[in-house]
């Protein structure tokens, strides 16, 4: 499309959107910024509603790589290289950015759950790449929600959004000040609480799973916190091959993927 079709990004908008790299401003504005062609395409294809898009920001070279821009009339802006550099969180920006509204806040209620339900809870998962990957995995396996406990990286961190590959709207996710309290609430709603643990029992040996189950994934270095371990109904171990493992443990997102898949089909 022609460059003249879209207005330039104003200095005021650039200043406002550049601040979204900080969680404080994401929380104040209720917005987040996403970067990259693949991420933007998936986000735009799965917008819950058109109003969730605040702005699309492109450099001139990106115009030919983005299709269907007419449907976002009034929300597409052109930016020069310097402006793109201010917005970018990557070393080699593609010149494609989107500013989106966050999901509505607040925990899901029991009335919104199907009879069969899986919830994934994150206990101090600090790497935003792991958080984004777990969100995408949870969406793939049809999880009801992802809960971000205290210490867990912001799902709207730029790295988390990239790692989710644009699936940030594909599953409900919300943060809680106390994961223990939230797990107690879920237990009252009929959820069995299971936690990934090196001190657990081979996850394949468990039977008698209820229709509602919650899986807790822990910190990359320290695993599940003691208060969560103490309330868990089942501790799940992913067995290694051979007599001794060649590494200390699995990556948090890999552990989450294995156990989410397992709990989705039992």
| Predicted confidence (pLDDT) per residue in 94-141, tens digit | 899 999 999 987 665 554 455 789 999 999 999 999 999 999 999 999
**In the predicted structure, residue 178 carries a pLDDT above the cut 80:** yes
255 token code pair: 């552990």
Q: What is the largest CA-CA distance in the chain?
A: 66
**In the predicted structure, residue 74 carries a pLDDT above the cut 70:** yes
Q: What is the mean pLDDT of residues 188-211?
A: 96
Q: Which of 22, 180, 147, 18 is nearest to 88 (CA)?
A: 18
At 236, the pLDDT band (50, 70, 90 cuts) reads very high
Alpha carbon distance 95, 169 (integer Å):
22
Least-confidence region, from 30-34, 110-114, 179-183: 110-114
Q: In the prediction, which pLDDT does 69 show?
A: 82
Q: What is the mean pLDDT of residues 24-37?
A: 95
Mean pLDDT across the chain, nearest whole number?
91
Task: Give the percent of the chain with pLDDT over 70.
Answer: 95
Q: What is the mean pLDDT of residues 238-251?
A: 84
Q: Are 78 and 7 in contact (CB under 8 A)?
A: yes
Q: Say how far residue 110 (Cα) sits from the centre of its chain.
A: 22
At 5, the pLDDT band (50, 70, 90 cuts) reads confident
Q: What is the three-state SS of the chain?
A: CCHHHCCECCHHHHHHHHHHHCHHHHHHHCEEEEECHHHHHHHHHCCCCHHHEEEEEECHHHHHHCCCHHHHCCCEEECCHHHHHHHCCCCCCCCEEEEEECCCCCCCCHHHCCCCEEEEEECCCCCHHHHHHHHHHHHHCCCCEEEECCCCCCCCCHHHHHHCCCCCCCCEEEECCCHHHHHHHHHHCCCEEEEEEEEEEEHHHCCCCCCEEEEEECECCCECCHHHHHHCCEEEECCCCCCCCCCCCCCHHHHHHHHHHHHHHC
Q: In the prediction, which pLDDT does 109 show?
A: 55
Q: In the prediction, which pLDDT does 3 show?
A: 56
Alpha carbon distance 257, 164 (integer Å):
13
Q: What is the mean pLDDT of residues 19-41?
A: 94
Walk me through the domains of the chain, giving residue ranges and CATH numbers.
3-101 (3.30.1330.30), 110-265 (3.40.1280.10)
**In the predicted structure, residue 4 carries a pLDDT above the cut 70:** no
């Amino acid at each position: 499309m022609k460059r003249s079709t879209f207005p330039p990004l104003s200095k005021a908008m650039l200043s406002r959107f550049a601040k979204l790299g900080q969680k404080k401003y994401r929380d104040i504005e209720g917005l987040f910024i996403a970067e990259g062609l693949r991420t933007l395409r998936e986000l735009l294809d799965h917008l819950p509603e058109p109003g969730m898009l605040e702005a699309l920001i492109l450099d001139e070279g990106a115009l030919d790589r983005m299709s269907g821009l007419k449907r976002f009339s009034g929300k597409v802006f052109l930016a020069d290289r310097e402006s793109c550099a201010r917005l970018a969180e990557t070393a080699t920006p593609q010149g494609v950015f989107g500013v989106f509204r966050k999901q509505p806040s607040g925990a899901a209620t029991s009335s919104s759950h199907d009879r069969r339900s899986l919830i994934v809870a994150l206990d101090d998962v600090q790497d935003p790449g792991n958080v984004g990957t777990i969100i995408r995995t949870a969406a793939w396996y049809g999880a009801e929600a992802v809960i971000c406990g205290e210490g867990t990286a912001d799902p709207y961190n730029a790295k988390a959004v990239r790692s989710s590959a644009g699936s940030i709207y594909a599953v409900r996710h919300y943060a809680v000040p106390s994961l223990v309290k939230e797990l107690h609430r879920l237990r009252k709603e009929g959820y069995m609480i299971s936690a990934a643990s090196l001190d657990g029992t081979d996850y394949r040996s468990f039977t008698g799973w209820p229709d509602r189950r919650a899986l807790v994934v822990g910190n990359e270095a320290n695993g599940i916190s003691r208060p969560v371990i103490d309330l868990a109904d089942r501790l799940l171990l992913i067995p290694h091959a051979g007599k001794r493992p060649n590494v200390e443990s699995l990556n948090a997102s890999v552990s989450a993927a294995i156990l989410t898949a397992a709990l989705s089909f039992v």
